[in-house]
């Protein structure tokens, strides 16, 4: 009876695999979707998927890579949380609002992926990307997907090569001796003499619809090997600082080459000031600026980045501060009216540049690179591509300046 069941299952798999091959050979285009699972009830790190990592929501790193890869007919985030949904949409994803049945602590990834597949029958291939893998690049996805679309595999998953010697676990209090699992202790190989072992790194899993119907991995499967520097996985808080340093060095920062940053538009009110107006006993009004921010502006200027200070509105205190900063830093001051986006666009056209940062949400969305202080309005944070750890008037401009210079250095070392 067991053998008969096995033969029956094998026959079904053969039919499905032949069907997949017919679709491939006929040249028919299959709908390929990227799917990121992002439940709101993370136990290790609350709302981990939208926690800021190097100025970007964690999920933003993989969404940026998925969208920029241009390999997908649709990019989705599956979630049960309103805040995650807002961030997902801000980063260009559609949202699959998962049902309560697949939002439990006991729910598996397979449950959610199968629900998504049922609700989206047009999707033939699903690339399940883990939100906790922020060093994913578009070329990883492109090369792995070609194993499905061009080489005929039905399941592809990412791996990394590890050189770890493994030993059998012995329960506490047990009297048994441990045993080596993947080495001969009498002939321990040198690292350079051992190829190591391939381990899943959890970055992504790609499946055809037929594979999903019977499990997450099956049929004609293959692995895609990623280098260790790109294999970052975040499960607990202690991983966060390590991941932040790794992503700043090996993360994907977008299609635009960082070295093209030649102009920074900085709003005086809300970026260089902290929103407070100090009033003296005699009635004088004063605002303060952090010297770290002015030093950040000078750092950019030394690297050839033009900085223009934006002053909007008729507030005399802000205008006086802008004029004073202009004298101290040598920056031009521009007074903008109601049509901020139009005036910024004209300014960019005059310099033959794309917009890089502007004091308006519409401009932030259009920007190639944009940032907001930590205490900016939520709508601005969702629109910006970098959210500072520092608040307005407390080093946010310096932080963003250092981020720009880091990207320029990274670009010089890459291209």
Catalytic positions, written as ranges: 188
d(CA 203, CA 34): 12
Structure tokens at 344: 């910024």
Structure tokens at 90: 């801000």
Q: How far is CA 336 from CA 339, 344, 350, 384, in A?
A: 8, 9, 16, 20
d(CA 209, CA 115): 12
d(CA 319, CA 310): 10
Structure tokens at 295: 């030093």
- Parallel, antiparallel or unpaired: strands 285-286 and 278-279: antiparallel
- Parallel, antiparallel or unpaired: strands 332-336 and 306-312: parallel
Which 3 state secondary structure label does DSSP give 274?
coil
d(CA 310, CA 229): 40
List the Cα angle 167/171/176 in 5-degree steps: 70
């Amino acid at each position: 009876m067991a053998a008969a069941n096995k033969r029956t299952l094998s026959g079904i798999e053969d039919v499905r695999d032949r069907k997949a091959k017919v679709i491939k050979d006929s040249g028919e285009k299959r709908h390929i979707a990227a799917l990121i699972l992002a439940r709101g009830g993370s136990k290790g790190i609350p709302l981990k998927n939208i926690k800021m990592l190097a100025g970007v929501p964690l999920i933003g790193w993989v969404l940026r890579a998925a969208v920029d890869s241009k390999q997908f007919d649709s990019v989705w985030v599956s979630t049960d949380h309103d805040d995650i949904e807002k961030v997902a949409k801000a980063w260009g994803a559609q949202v699959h609002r998962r049902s309560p049945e697949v939002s439990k602590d006991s729910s598996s990834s397979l449950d959610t992926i199968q629900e998504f597949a049922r609700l989206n029958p047009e999707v033939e291939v699903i690339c399940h990307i883990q939100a906790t893998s922020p060093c994913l690049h578009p070329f990883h996805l492109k090369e792995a997907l070609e194993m499905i679309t061009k080489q005929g595999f039905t399941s592809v998953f990412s791996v990394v090569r590890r050189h770890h010697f493994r030993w059998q676990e012995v329960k506490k209090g047990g009297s048994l001796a441990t045993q080596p699992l993947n080495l001969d202790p009498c002939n321990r190989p040198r690292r350079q003499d051992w190829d190591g072992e391939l381990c899943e790194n959890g970055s992504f899993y790609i499946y055809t619809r037929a594979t999903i119907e019977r499990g997450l991995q099956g049929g004609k499967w293959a692995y895609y090997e990623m280098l260790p520097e790109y294999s970052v996985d975040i499960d607990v808080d202690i991983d966060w600082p390590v991941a932040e340093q790794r992503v700043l060095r090996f993360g994907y920062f977008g299609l635009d080459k960082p070295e093209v940053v030649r102009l920074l538009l900085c709003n005086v009110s809300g970026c260089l000031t902290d929103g407070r107006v100090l009033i003296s006993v005699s009635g004088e009004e004063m605002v303060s600026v952090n010297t770290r921010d002015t030093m950040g502006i000078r750092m950019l200027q030394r690297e050839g980045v033009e900085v223009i200070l934006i002053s909007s509105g008729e507030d005399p205190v802000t205008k006086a501060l802008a004029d004073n900063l202009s004298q101290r830093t040598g920056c031009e001051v521009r007074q903008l009216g109601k049509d901020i986006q139009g005036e910024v666009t004209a300014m960019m056209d005059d310099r033959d540049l794309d917009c890089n940062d502007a004091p308006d949400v519409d401009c932030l969305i259009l920007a190639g690179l944009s940032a907001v202080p930590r205490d900016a309005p939520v709508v601005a944070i969702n629109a910006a591509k970098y959210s500072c750890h520092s608040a307005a008037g407390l080093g946010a401009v310096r932080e963003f300046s250092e981020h720009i210079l880091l990207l320029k250095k990274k670009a010089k070392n890459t291209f």
